Every structure is written in structure tokens, then in C-alpha cells.
Chains A and B, each alone.
Chain A
Amino acid sequence: MNIIEIENLTYSYPASKKPILKNINLQVEKGDFLAVIGNNGCGKSTFCKTLNGLIPHFITGDFEGSVTVDGLNTLESDVGTLACKAGYVYQDFENQIVRPTVLDDASYACLNYAMEDYKERGREALSLCSLEGREDDYIWQLSGGQTHLLALAGAVSLRPDILILDEPIAQLDPSHADRIYNVLRELNEKHGKTIIVIEHHTEYIADYCKHVMLMKDGSIAWKLPTDEALRRVDELQSCNIFPPQVTVAAHRMEQEGRFSKEQTLPTTVEEGKTVFKSLRYHLPFPCKKPAKGKREPVVEFKDVSIAYRSVKGEDRVIFDRLNLEIHRGEKIALIGSNGAGKSTLMKLMVGLLKPGDGDIMLDGESIRRKKTESLSKKISLVYQNPEEMFIKDSIQADIAYAMQVRNIDNYKERTNELLARFNLTELKNRDGRLLSGGQMRRASLAIGIALNPGILLLDEPTANLDIATRKEIMRTLNDMKEVTETVMIATHDMQLVCEWAERIVVLCQGKVVADGTRDEIFGRRDIVETVGIRPPEIFYMGQALNKKALCYTVDEFLERFKEV
């Protein structure tokens, strides 16, 4: 039975002449788990909003064709009725939560639709989304992942048959992401819900989704079963979508003639185990480790303690006597789960937070008595959310600002240089906020290095980006290696860690639990498991084939696993 039927849907937003959705025809079966993929701006989110009636009832515009959801034509039903058929979770989900406490928000919609059992429905939804026991908590007490689950619970409480999620795991660390998808799988399999996700992470699509739909420029290119869809490696890559690393590896082998055409490409590590089982692991030539000379420390944390005031009860201790040394020229990745203290560590270094106890030395001088603005020539921080970096009305003005107020002589030339370097010259008069995700990141990086600081700190530079933009930012970061001496990146993105970092520092509950090269970190199972970090998929593939294998990129995998 088809739960969604769309015929000849064409839609354009009120103020624009070009249609954003063009002649869409689609059937979705009841109980499907569908991933919608496509470039940024191809109309994925708009498409999803036509399913719950927000378009055309709430957002007007030119609407042609028909959308039928569970037998109801969306044009003829109102948003309220449709909300009980299709629940929607936004990408910026925290703005969708409007009540101060958890149970209250989960049951809010039911209350508004005058359902007598609204409290029970709220509770039920919370337990389905594994938020039991948090009913009376306030929203700000939840972690990012829990907040997302709450947004989901708010949608589930109306008991819709369809759930639509816009990039559910973009801001989450791997363990939270797993939790979301496990909840979704349970809703799908045990409760028969039809689930539609907009998703960039093909590894998750491979593991959880049943069908994949590719959108291109407002039309549907195809809808196929997941395996088949992910095997279309060339087509996906041409749309800036990156198939699972396992699939890419096999595809490359196929091109090199190492893989017979008859065999289907694997999409998960499990499939990879059988497909690649004939491969042998070859130890790489032990490359000479660069002699670890005594490197000069640029930042030293000396017994630093800091705690946040909390609303109720005890203060929350973030660091208790933390010690850490950062040396000149290092490229450090700072990893750890949400809330481990990564952002706090960075804010301490730029003087935005003062340590409660202990001291931080920058170039041998204590920063305790220094003003933040005087530090900014030496050390600079780029926020996780680039929108908060834009304080002027054009990116040109934003990049120039710090230099301008410091009366740096050739600040105009330097601004133009930076604009050119980050490929932003054409956009220089635009407001940073109105740029695309990747452009925003590039602009924020340009702002960060405007004063030519010796140390650059980046907080989650690749969060919230689709994979194509992520690759682009990764390239930019690699280019920047020569420009800034010492760089530290806090991130969940293990591909970035593996390809970029020379030293990895693992934070867990305010303590440095591991510190070393990638082999020293990922090679230690205990750390990987206790801290909940996740190496790239290809690393798991290698491990599954040979316990000794430590390969972090597809290139390394192909190099070290050979037929003979």
C-alpha cells in the first residue's frame, strides 16, 4: 500500500519565479525507511514540507499537482489533520521546541489538538524515543542528542504514520547519532512507521535505510533500494555525495581491474568481509618517524581547574587540575564526546574564560592578567557556529574589522588577499549569514587568520556540512597548514582527524585520557571503546580483515590490502 502518492508536483516560493520542485511523481510504500539525498539547494527540505501541508497552507506560493498522504489530499486538509499523519523534525531542531520542560513539550501538540490523553501520549512518545526518566527536566539540561530526541518525541506524540527528519545527525557525535538511528529503526520495524530522512551520511544510509531517493535540481532522479543506489558510485560522486568508503574502495578496485565486474559492490563492513576476504594485508614500510626533538611549548596548561555555575545544586566541574602542553608547529586534533570540555579548553586559551585555579601560559607568559584583545594577535578562535563570527554586514568588513581597528597599515590589501585566498572575492559584499554552509565556513576561517595569529583554534570546523563541503573545508585546512604555525581542531569528524592531525588529544570527562599519533590512539581498543570515538569506516574494514591493519583512508586501504 502506498502511504504517499505525489503526482506532477511543481512548486515555487512566493517571491521567486523559478520553481524549486519540478514535476515530481513519487510513491512511497507504508513501512518504508527512505533516505533523500542530493546537493545543497536541490529542494530536499522544500519537498519534505509539502508532505505535512506546511506547503501550501502555511508557506504560500505556486502549487500545482497533488500530494496524497495516507489517503488525504494535502490541498483539501488542514495542517492540523496532516500533522497527525506526518511528523516533521527540523534540521535546526532546537528552535522547534517551544516549551520549557520535557514532558510539556512532548505533549504540547496533543494538548493543542485537545486530546484528552495528552499526557499519556507525551509519555509514550518519550519512552519510544528513549527519554524516559527525563520528563520533568528543563530543556537546557538536555544534551544536543537528547534535545533532538525530544523534537522527535514531539512529532511522535501525535502518533503519525510518517516521520520526516531533516538531517537528524548533522550536529551529533557518533554515539548520539547511533542512538537516534536506533530509535528510528525501532519506530520503523516495531511500530510500522514510515520514515523519511534527509541524510548525507551514506554509512548510516547503508546500515539503516531501505530505499534511497536522489534529487537533482528539484526533480527526482531515481528511487532505488539502498544497495543498488549506493553502488552507483560515479553518479553519486558527480552529485557530490560520497558513497560508503567500503563501496568506494571496491569501486576503485573494479576500475583497476582487481575486482570482477560480476560481483556486486559491498555497501557495509559486513558485506565487505566476504567480498574482500581474499585480500592479504601488507605491513607498510616503517617510515622513519621524525626525530622528536625538544619542541618549544607555546601553550601550557598548569593544573587548570574550572567549573560552571549551575542552576541547581553543585557547580559543574569541567576541568580538575588539567595539564597539557602544546608545542610550536603542532597540528592537533582534540576529540571526545559532546560535553567533554573541548570548547571550554579553547575558550580558556583565548582568555574568554578565566581558570578558577591554576594557570595558562602563552609563550611563557601567564594569560591571567592579559586582556583578551591583546591576545588576539597571537591566538585566534573560530567558533563552531560561524554565524556568531559575523558582526558586520559584509564578509569583507568582517575580515577587515580586526585589522582596521588595530590600524594595521595595509589592511585593505591583506583583506583582498584573504578574500582571494579563500575564494570569496565575488561574495565580498554579501552578508556572511546569507551564504551557503561552505562559504560561511571559509569566511569564518578567513576572519580567524586575519591577524595572522601563531596559534589557530577551530571548534568543529566541519560540523553541519554536507560531505562535499566538508571535503572542500578539509582541503582548505590542508592548504592553511603552511600559513599558521600551530593549529588545534576540536571535532567529531574522524576522517578529518585521520587525514589532517599529527597529534591527537582525547578528552573524556575533563581529563586527557590519551595523547599521541593516530596509530597510538585508534590502535588502542580500550580507548576507542570507553571514550566512544569512532574511526572512519574503512578503518573498521581493515580491522575486520586483519587485526593489525591500521588504515585510515581508502588510498591506504588499497595500498596495503593486496590479492597476494
Chain B
Amino acid sequence: MKMKKKLSENILDKFSIDFLRTQVLKNAYGNDDTVIAALDPRILIVWYLFMGLVPWFVNNLWFLMACFILVLVTTKLARVAGLVLLLFVIGVFTQTGYLLVVSLFFGGNASTVVSLLILTLKVATCSLASITVFSGLDPDRLSNGLMWYGCPERLSFSISYAYRVLPMLMGEFQNILLSFRMRGNPPEHETFAGKVKYLFYQVKVIMHAFYPLMLNTAKRSRTTVEALEIKGYRYAAVNKAVKKMKFSTLKVTYNDLLFLAVSFLWISLSVLASTLA
């Protein structure tokens, strides 16, 4: 119930879209001068595959701790926006909280705590690894990296276009919501019943806001697609030479290898520690 209350206050009022916009932009572009952002995207993707997959198969506490600390450090290095970290915390919490209920239901005991800790570490490590890579990297470098591994060109275009169009879309959405706010007449929300009503009102407004947004965006996308045609987007998609030119901006440096080596060293140390313990 408390959550619901919070939610109803949040959607339009405190949790302003303006705030969201800056946070997302910050996450995307505010950290292009970090150590992580300078790394080669292909290396980072490999690193991510390891950090995102391997912990699932391992239940050793030392190892998981080491992985967790490593991704914690990389996340710090990537200077991820606060909102994303908040989401991460909420995500991990709800995932293990849910499991706690389940394990109690099935009759858990003292070892439950340990296994839950292991599980939490797994979940946390994987999410932080993905946060490091996907938030820490500049979208363009990320999409080039993905394309190098054979991801469809459409996807990599979508990534960079998404970052381009998001500020505009959010601005427009915000203005439409403001129109509703200026002209609308939301129910009183002092009492609890009022708050529930208010929540429904807000959900309805958000839904309705998509009607104008759809039409306005349709207008935009026509120009965009025409411009893409002029700019040769379709030619590039089938032209191998273009791909090669794009990839030529990617370079593996000693830094990248060093990054891998340090990660590997750290992990092996944890393995060593666990066998000693």
C-alpha cells in the first residue's frame, strides 16, 4: 500500500520527466571520458560475456565475491548515473526478496542465508557487468562493437538513433503531459481513496498522451527516413567497404589487454584463495 501511495505521488510530480531525461542523458553521454569508455568495445563485450555468464555456473563464495568487487570497481570507473544504480539496487532487492519468500515457503533453514547470499552476488554481478558495459560505453562505440560480432546492422543503427532521438521524444512527451496538467482537472488526492483515483487518473493521462505523441512522431519519422535515404543509409547496409571503414576506428590497445589481464589476475587470485581456505 505504501508503495502504491508513493507511486501515485511519483509518476507525474516528483519524478519529473525532466529529471529522467537528464539522468538518461547523463548515463549515455556524461561519461565518455572515463577509463571504461576508452576501452575497445569488442574487448569489453568479451569481458561482459565472461562476467555475465560464468558466475551463474559457480557457487564458490570467494569467487563470486571477487567478481562482485571487480564489477563494483568497474561500475565506479564508468561513472554510471545515479538513477541507473538505484534501479540496480531495487532490481537486486526485489529479485532476492522474492526468492526469500519462496525459500521460506518451501521450508528454508540456516543454509538458506548462504545460498541467498550467493544468489544475490550472482544477480548483482551480472547486472553490474551489464551496467558497466552498456552504460559505460559510448552508444556508437557499443554499436560498432556489436556489429563487429555480426549483430544486424539494423540493431546498431537503432542504438545510436535511439540516443539521438530520446532527448527530443522526451521533451515532446513532457510538453504533452504538461498540456494535460495545465488543462486537466485531476481528482483531489488528500484522502486514500483520492490517491487511488489519482493514480488511475495519471495512468489514463499517460495512455492518452500517446495519441498525440504517435501522430507527432509519425511526422518526424517521415523526414528522418527520407534523410536517411539521402544520406545513403541503405547503401551502407549492404556495402562491405563501409563496414570495414567503420571497424577501422576500433583499435585494440595495450590498455584493453591490460584490462583483461588485470581482471583475469584478480579472478585467479580469488580461485587460489578459495582452494586455500
Q: Which A residues are within 8 Å of any B CB, using their own CB?
A: 52, 54, 58-59, 79-80, 83, 88, 90, 92, 94-101, 104, 108-109, 111-114, 116, 118, 138-140, 154, 309-312, 350, 352, 372-373, 376, 380-381, 383, 385, 387-391, 393, 401-402, 405-406, 431, 433, 447, 450-451
Contact = CB atoms under 8 A, between A and B. Distances in A.
Interface string B12-26: 000000110010011
Nearest to A313: B30
Nearest to B246: A111
B232 A140 contact: no
Contacts of A112: 231-233, 235-236, 239, 242
A312 B79 CA distance: 12
A58 B236 contact: no
B232 A83 contact: yes
A54 B181 contact: no
Contact of A108 (B180, B226, B231): B231
B164 A97 contact: yes
Interface string B155-191: 0000011011001100010011011111111100000
B259 interface: no
Nearest to A90: B223
Nearest to A87: B230
B contact residues, range: 35 or more
Contacts of A450: 183
Contacts of B25: 140, 311
6 contacts: A83-B231, A98-B160, A112-B236, A309-B22, A311-B29, A388-B216
B223 A92 contact: yes
A538 to B, nearest CB: 36
B182 A114 contact: no
Interface stretch (B2-10, B64-72, B113-121, B207-215): B207-215
A113 B235 contact: yes
B227 A383 contact: no
Contacts of B224: 95-96, 98
Contacts of B29: 100, 138, 311-312
A54 B168 CA distance: 25
Given A96-B224, A352-B178, A372-B181, 16 more contacts: A59-B226, A79-B229, A96-B227, A98-B227, A100-B139, A100-B160, A108-B231, A111-B245, A112-B239, A309-B18, A311-B29, A352-B182, A372-B182, A373-B182, A387-B212, A388-B212
A108 B245 CA distance: 12
Nearest to B29: A138
Nearest to B189: A371
Contacts of B167: 140
Contacts of B221: 95
A373 B176 contact: no
Interface in B222-277: 223-224, 226-233, 235-236, 239, 241-242, 245-246
Given A114-B241, A385-B175, A373 B185 contact: yes
B185 A406 contact: yes
Contacts of B185: 373, 402, 405-406
Contact of A388 (B176, B219, B230): B176
A92 to B, nearest CB: 5
Contact of B242 (A111, A352, A393): A111
Given A100-B163, A114-B239, A114-B241, A373 B231 contact: no
B18 to A, nearest CB: 8
A471 to B, nearest CB: 26
Nearest to B222: A95
A132 to B, nearest CB: 20
A81 B229 CA distance: 12
Q: Sort A-B residue pairs by CB-CB distance and give the 8 closest, nearest first.
A: A112-B232, A112-B236, A402-B183, A96-B227, A109-B231, A95-B223, A405-B185, A388-B175
Nearest to A350: B182
Contact of B236 (A100, A111, A387, A405): A111
Contacts of B161: 98
Nearest to A375: B182
B158 to A, nearest CB: 11
B175 A383 contact: yes
Nearest to B209: A391
Contacts of B154: none
A52 B229 CA distance: 11
A352 B239 contact: no
A453 to B, nearest CB: 10
A91 B122 CA distance: 51
A58 B226 contact: yes
Contacts of A387: 212, 216, 219
A401 B158 CA distance: 37
Contact of A113 (B175, B180, B232): B232
Nearest to B208: A391
A111 B233 CA distance: 9
Contacts of B182: 350, 352, 372-373, 376, 380-381, 402
Contact of B223 (A96, A101, A310): A96
Contacts of A118: 245
Q: From B29, B185, B236, name the one whose CB has the most chain A CB atoms within 10 angstroms.
A: B185
A385 B220 CA distance: 14
Interface string B190-212: 00000000000000000011011
